[in-house]
Amino acid sequence: MRAIEIIQPGGPEVLKPCERPMPVLKAGEVLIKVHAAGVNRPDVLQRTGNYPVPPGASDIPGLEVAGEIVDGDFAGSAFKKGDMVCALVQGGGYAEYCAAPVAQCLPIPKGLSAIEAASLPETFFTVYSNLFERAKLSGDETLLVQGGTSGIGVTAIQMAQAFGHKVWATAGSDDKCRACEELGAERGINYKTEDFVEVVKAATNGKGVDVIIDMVAGDYVGREISCLADDGRLVIIALLGGASGKVDFGQILRRRLTITGSTLRPRPVAFKQMIADKLHQKVWPLIETGKIKPVIFKTFSLEQADQAHALMETSTHVGKIMLTIN
């Protein structure tokens, strides 16, 4: 099969088309003939040598796909050969065929193309598990999304807003801030020209937000603590701003704050199956009624994976960057 491999750690140019053997399926896995695959920030980190591949996972990048099930172990699932699905995978998505745990497959939402469906798994699993399982966002609580026009950001804004939460979001330009507002944010905050702490405090009458989802970390954490309401929760999902920062532990004690975080890729299949079931039950209907929409910025062919990564590294995109496989 055709695939894209990382020949050595480096820039986008180290992504090269290649021929690879077909995946060998394990128990509980299905073989998907890939129509489309998503490009995500962890793929870039893997390419640069900063995100080790979990034991037993494919070294081919790509964490989400959509396509047709052509073979596999269907035990305990409602799927069958010929079904069109999207799936969260541990690797191997940049290829004509990909192995996926059947427990991590979801039907393509009605009305969506394979490209749109392939844009869902990585960000939807990540956002749902962190906002609603880990941070326990509920009721009339409020949310701040750091990086509102990233794949994670556009998903978090729409999902939280669809569940009735007020959302604020940061972005790096006025145009991106307007895009956040069009997706449902109360206000886009230009982090280059505004202080998100001041904006959020003013918008919430000094209370702050109940939950923050953050992919920056670093020196953002101290400011985010000041931005949280009492009993607030900060959930960190990436470290784009660095792995250390200054924290006022006094605020954590006095105001009962929680700082937590997670990464999705190494979690067991059972956990991901639980999230898949919740998404199918609670989020897929919102997609099918148009309350949550895939946001696709640009699509490339499989052989143009290097161009897709170069675009992602510019951070000029709003939403998802995708690969198509003929």
Q: Could you identify the residue written with the tokens 């990233």?
A: 150
User: What confidence tens digit (pLDDT) does each residue in 244-291 have?
Assistant: 999 999 999 999 999 999 999 889 999 999 999 999 999 999 999 999
pLDDT for position 280: 98
pLDDT for position 326: 77
Q: Could you identify the residue written with the tokens 């069009």?
A: 182
Residue 201 has pLDDT above 90, yes or no: yes
The pTM for the full model equals 0.95
| DSSP secondary structure letter of residue 13 | G
Instruction: Grade residue 184 by pLDDT with cuts at 50, 70 and 90.
Output: very high
pLDDT for position 73: 96
pLDDT for position 294: 97
User: What confidence tens digit (pLDDT) does each residue in 20-76 have?
Assistant: 999 999 999 999 999 999 999 999 999 999 999 999 999 999 999 999 999 999 988
Residue 219 has pLDDT above 90, yes or no: yes
Residue 203 tokens read as: 């918008």
- Of 215, 134, 226, the residue nearest 169 (C-alpha): 215
List the domains of the chain with CATH numbers: 2-120+265-324 (3.90.180.10), 124-261 (3.40.50.720)
pLDDT for position 76: 87
